[in-house]
Amino acid sequence: MTISRRTVLAVAAGATATAAAPAQAADTSSGQQPGPVARVLGAAADYAVTKLRAVAPGVSGFPVSTKFEKWVVSQNGDWVGGFWPGTLWMAYLRSGDEAFRTLALDSARKLAPRRFDTTTHDLGFLFYPSWATAWRLTGDDSWSTGAVQAADSLIQRYNPHGRFIRAWGALDTPQNAGRVIMDTMMNLDLLAFASRRTGDEKYLNVAVEHARTARRYFPRPDGSTPHVFDFDPDTGAPIGPNTVQGYSPSSCWSRGQAWGIYGFTTMYRRTGHEPFLATARELADFAVGALTSDHVPVWDYLAPQQPYDIKDASAGAVTACGLLDLAAAAGRPEYRRVAIRILTALSETCLTRKSTRADAIVARCTRNRPAEDGIEVSLPYADYYLLEGILRVLQPKDVDRAVDLSSTVARTMH
């Protein structure tokens, strides 16, 4: 597989940094949101801004989860460190408040040592909503340079035998050496970013090969997916599906399904490779069909207690963002309608409005049900993707400046 230099650079203009001030009013010029929906989503976004304005100055690290409604933080960011500065950037875009900009930059700087971390696939989660967004919104090339350094670390995890990026474990350890997880689809856009910034095809080539492998092995005929797929790390031969955060190897962990919808759509936008779009639609159709009438996903779409099982609002927020992206990429407005119903449901039933002690914005999340770790908690990525999703609807031009919603036009794939 090769991608021409022209292809790699084709969307460079869409990734150009801009330091313009954010819009402070909802962009509803498209007329696609009826008034009541815009009011519900706008009120949720404004609640998030108010909550962050009160809580953020006192947060000393990177929120990981909550314990009795208070953030438990990591000093190095764990795998979620990028979402805190990312959420602050979204609050800045919504409010225009320079205090959020300052907090976002200060938080992102603390991730600097992780640029050289080769022990995890999570570098996209860490550096895309933090450093890449910082570059786009400030024009300071040091942020872009750091994000490319993180991409250099990420591609070291690529296994050429199986054509996949290893999820977990240090590179010199055999445990999990052949383990691939759906979450990695969300880390590939960091590699696309690095190719656009440097003109070097190697980053995007790795992203495309990983996405092709995931597309080949993860989706089932009905569009559901397992959390994990294992390979022989020495030969690249497939071993089979597995799970860590889902109910079983044959179930469908809802947040993993959401990562897939969002990730495959992004890879389609970056490459124009139609099979990625087809896969995103297959995964989306399954997830949409599995939604209950309240439009808040259960933690696993195929666990025995569904549809009456515990919820995961974070899966809903990620799914909504992916469906909004997919609606635009595929020209299918029905995905947008479902996404708005999910965002509305989260805004009406999952916010922490009634709590006087909550640090987070979104409640009713599930981190790792099989491990009994984080049930009915708040999670930093739920806050981030809820705000991203709402602003995709109300302020799409601002979100585009922050995360780059552009698509490749000229492309050559072999």
Answer yes or no: are the C-beta atoms of 124 and 190 closer than 8 Å: yes
Is-contact 210 190, C-beta < 8 A?
no
Angle between the 333-349 and 274-290 helix axes, to the nearest 10 degrees? 40
Nearest CA to 262 out of 366, 182, 196 is that of 182
- DSSP states along 149-170: HHHHHHHTTEETTTTEE--BS-
Adjacency order of strands within the sheet including 228-231: 179-181, 228-231, 238-242
Q: What is the C-alpha to C-alpha distance for residues 318 and 348, in angstroms, rounded to an integer?
A: 17
Residues 6+ apart with CB under 8 A from 192: 203, 204, 207, 266, 267, 270
Q: Which of 78, 106, 117, 122 is catalytic?
A: 122
Q: Which helix or strand (DSSP H or E) is residue 54 part of? A: helix 35-55
| 183 counts as catalytic | yes
State the catalytic residue, choosing from 27, 106, 141, 183. Answer: 183
For the question of residue 122 being annotated catalytic, the response is yes
- Say if residue 307 is preceded by a cis peptide, omega within 30 of 0: yes
Within 57-157, where are the H helices?
83-95, 98-109, 123-127, 133-138, 141-155
Strand partners, 179: 230
Residues noted as catalytic? 122, 183
